[in-house]
Chains A and B, each alone.
Chain A
Amino acid sequence: MKITVYLGTGGVGKTSLAAATAMARARGGAKSLVLTTDPARRLRTALGIAGNAAEQQVPLNGAGGGQLWGALLDVRATLDDAVRMYGKPEVVPRVLNHPIYATIASSLIGMPELMAVERIDQLIKRGFTDIVVDTAPSRHALEFLDKPILFADLAESGWVRLAGRTYRFAAASPIGLFGKTTFEVYSRVESILGTRLVTQILDFYSLFVSIAEGYSSRARQTVKLLKDPKVTEFRIVTTPQKAVADTGYFLGELESRGYPVSAVCVNRVWTPDAGSERPPGLEGELLDWYGAVRQTQQGQLRRLAAGFGARIGRIVPVPELEVDVGGLDSLEQIASSAALV
């Protein structure tokens, strides 16, 4: 089994590289799947994925004995599934219709990452052996790694259990159950947030706690897989301009959490050499500008190699295409021009 996680700041091209990687693996004979959170419309069409529907096989033309599959991570639908899977039948409809539930799926930062872990677990159970994931296009990419653990801690923390199991009695005689200091804290927090909000949240937890418990033990196992270098590799995606800063940041964060980093993919590198001839007019002006930008990028790549070459297995430059990335043909082009397998 192989899990490849692409990680990086927003807008650097994680989704395209993840899709191109899955395609290259399929070409090499694997049954590979790309799990993506937010594909652009054309990529979504190319991969044939819609909604949270089951995985779709993508027809590949020509040689290669493997299969390419695509799947979209729909956070709300995955959370719904998890609630149905881990919740007791009588609790499920009350959780799904709870006013807090509607907002927890859409506005809780880190929820996409949490659900990605849940979905990876499902995919493994369904027999996919080569999974390529792109993390949510957020500034909080690292919550992909932190949230499952936080969530597990949450489910196991004393007050949530207390609130979850005994909330209804606690509401009737709070001092007896919480203890005096806790009650003092509780009522102060309540005065800041408003009674109704606090009541709603506690009520939600009282329903959700058993689901969170079921979920968290599985999430811990999946996170263990993500930390196993024999199974998982993390790849940092960046652009030439941000390469040094992004690599330093993500490498530090990943290493400190014990996740295996295998490569830095520098996307959108301008490859062809501008040469020395200068045509007149707009052509010349364009070529001049192109050559200067390319030269700057080469310098940025050299600085990346000098700064991190020894700490990272591979630095993979990925050429920028002259067209927009979207269709299967453009993924082919990326897969064939960069060593992403």
Chain B
Amino acid sequence: MHEQARVAIFCGKGGVGKTTLCLAHGLRHASAGRRVVVITSHPLPELAVTLSLAGLATEYPAAAQNLFVVHLDAKELLAEVVRANFPMAILANAVLRSSLYNNLIDVAPGLKEFYFLARLQQLAERKGPSTGAGAHEFDMLLWDAPATGHFLGTLRAAKSFETYLSGPLAVAGAELARFFSNADSVALVPVTTLEEMAVTETVEMCKALSDEFRLMPSAVLLNMVSPAIGADHAELARLRGALTLGKLNGPAMRFAAERALLEVTRARELGALLAAPSVAVQRVRHWSSDIDLLAQAGESLAGLPAGI
């Protein structure tokens, strides 16, 4: 059996629902008894995460035992390195407070990204079956990645350390670059809505990931789609005909049909450009709490290939 990838990366354009689907996926598997770690790296989603998970312990007690959301702050990771390098806390704190240190790490190209990736890899090495002999701490690791530009920048940080610096960081950089260009260690799960801008960005992101890191998407998540995605061909043809002939009643019906048909076209275009299975997540109608929204969205993720 093919060993599953060590990190599943939920990536894509800003605002398409990466955090929501990443948490939904985590919640779904945590409820089924797997031990799941979700990694976030950016400040605002951290807020979203806190809000989304309110009520987890009372509504999904089983999942609450198994779902861990970890915010990795690169600056804090670097501070750990400093503390490890200094025998005395007082000296370490002097370094951490000094403007010399703070300014250096702010402008050092890719340094924070580098330490972030290094910790992610470290966590991935600790992943494994959480039951049986030699049980691991968790058996599912999901990275709720930042929006496309920053995400690609983060991955490139490992490469640039390899290419233009010498010393111990360059060696570690080479190792990181290998890890994050290996389909056995990472599974890409691009998330997109079916709007033109999001689809274009997804295609370009996948091209960059393939060209620079030889990574192909394992599955593409189509988020917030209408019920027309997945409808059969004849029904869609009927709807298109009715819209074209002006036979749809009312502005709401015309609006819904026009957008839905546009989405169907986009989904086909995307399918032709990316050689990966797609999973559609319908826009949720009503939800009683954020955690309920995650649970509903999670149901649609049953179609994801195993190993993510």
Contact = CB atoms under 8 A, between A and B. Distances in A.
B250 interface: yes
Contact of B107 (A10, A100, A189, A292): A100
A318 to B, nearest CB: 15
Contact of B111 (A193, A204, A270, A290): A193
B286 interface: yes
Nearest to A326: B196
Interface string A95-118: 000011001101111000000000
A10 B16 CA distance: 9
A12 B248 contact: no
B227 A196 contact: no
B186 to A, nearest CB: 21
Contact of A194 (B42, B168, B235): B168
A196 B161 CA distance: 12
Interface in B11-31: 13-16
Contacts of B259: 322
A186 interface: yes
A135 B159 CA distance: 29
A49 B285 CA distance: 39
Interface string B244-269: 00001111111111111010000000
Interface stretch (A24-32, A63-71, A154-162): A154-162
Contacts of B66: none
B195 interface: yes
Contacts of B94: 181, 185
A285 B249 contact: no
Contact of A323 (B110, B170, B262): B262
A40 interface: yes
B196 A324 contact: yes
Given A296-B286, A323-B258, A324-B197, A286 B108 contact: no
A281 interface: yes
B256 to A, nearest CB: 4
B153 interface: yes
Given A185-B98, A197-B165, A201-B108, A282 B236 contact: yes
A189 B15 contact: no
B70 interface: no
Contacts of B86: 188
A107 B160 CA distance: 11
Contact of B85 (A192, A279, A287): A192
Interface in B59-113: 81-82, 85-86, 91, 94-95, 98-101, 103-111, 113
B150 A104 contact: no
B15 A12 contact: yes
Nearest to A40: B197
Interface string A146-186: 00000000100111100000000000000000000110111
B228 interface: yes
A245 B48 contact: yes
B31 to A, nearest CB: 23
A20 B65 CA distance: 48
A138, A195, A197: most-surrounded residue (chain B CB, <10 A): A197
A50 interface: no
B203 interface: no
B169 interface: yes
Nearest to A196: B166
Contacts of B134: none
15 contacts: A11-B15, A40-B196, A104-B107, A107-B153, A138-B150, A188-B85, A189-B100, A189-B104, A195-B167, A197-B108, A270-B255, A282-B235, A283-B248, A293-B283, A324-B195
Interface of A: 9-12, 40-42, 99-100, 103-104, 106-109, 137-140, 154, 157-160, 181-182, 184-186, 188-189, 191-198, 201, 204, 239, 245, 249, 270, 272-275, 277, 279, 281-283, 285-287, 289-296, 322-324, 326
Interface of B: 13-16, 42-45, 47-48, 51, 81-82, 85-86, 91, 94-95, 98-101, 103-111, 113, 146-147, 149-150, 153, 157, 160, 164-170, 195-198, 200, 226-228, 231, 235-236, 238-239, 242, 248-260, 262, 282-283, 285-287
